[in-house]
């Protein structure tokens, strides 16, 4: 398979949201998606506090996958980083090279933009993805835990500020 990669624009928000919903179902959280076509479009345009970017994989004009990312900053390195929020390829198209092509494109973007690192998180039960990432040469960050504040806990702490 030879898919085509391209940078997404706000007009791709509906296709991206569909992939996000498919990913949420794969991750056993089908009802967790609160994003809308408008919120995705707004963030792709950079009209909000966060600017997201997304590379789309297409086959014969049909969107089959995405790599949605944004920039972080490494204080120790004094350089930006690239953070992959979501990588998803529709199940019918897995194993055909789209995931590899998307990851390679993001690595190229990171190098072009002089990023110090290219990072992402992966659910610990997602063995196929873990094996895929390890085959790329990626290593898990031993000794680090991901923390999250949301909902009431976030609201409570915000009240302190």
The CB density around residue 63, as the number of other CB atoms within 10 Å, is 19
Q: Compute the average pLDDT of residues 72-82.
A: 96
* pLDDT at site 81: 97
Q: What is the pLDDT of residues 127-141, one digit of tens each?
A: 999 999 999 999 999
Q: What is the pLDDT of residues 21-58, one digit of tens each?
A: 999 999 999 999 999 999 999 999 988 888 999 999 99
The class level of CATH for 4-160 reads: alpha beta
CA distance 88 to 22: 8
Write down the pTM of the prediction: 0.93
Q: Which two tokens stand for residue 107?
A: 């690595």
Task: Evaluate if residue 1 carries a pLDDT over 80.
Answer: no
Domain ranges of the chain: 4-160
What are the catalytic residues?
133
């Amino acid at each position: 398979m030879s898919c085509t990669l391209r940078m997404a624009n706000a007009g791709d928000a509906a296709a991206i949201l569909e992939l996000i919903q498919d990913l949420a179902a794969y991750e056993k959280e089908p009802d967790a998606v609160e994003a809308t076509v408008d919120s995705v479009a707004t963030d792709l345009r950079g009209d909000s506090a966060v600017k997201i970017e997304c590379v789309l994989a297409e086959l014969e004009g049909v969107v089959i996958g995405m790599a949605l990312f944004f920039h972080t900053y490494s204080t120790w390195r004094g350089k930006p980083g690239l953070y992959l929020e979501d990588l998803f390829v529709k199940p019918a198209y897995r194993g055909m090279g789209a995931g590899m092509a998307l990851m390679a494109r993001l690595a190229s973007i990171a190098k072009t933009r002089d990023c110090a690192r290219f990072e992402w998180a992966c659910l610990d039960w997602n063995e196929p993805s873990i094996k895929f990432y390890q085959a790329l040469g990626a290593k898990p960050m031993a000794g680090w835990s991901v923390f999250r504040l949301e909902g009431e806990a976030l609201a409570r702490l915000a009240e302190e500020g």
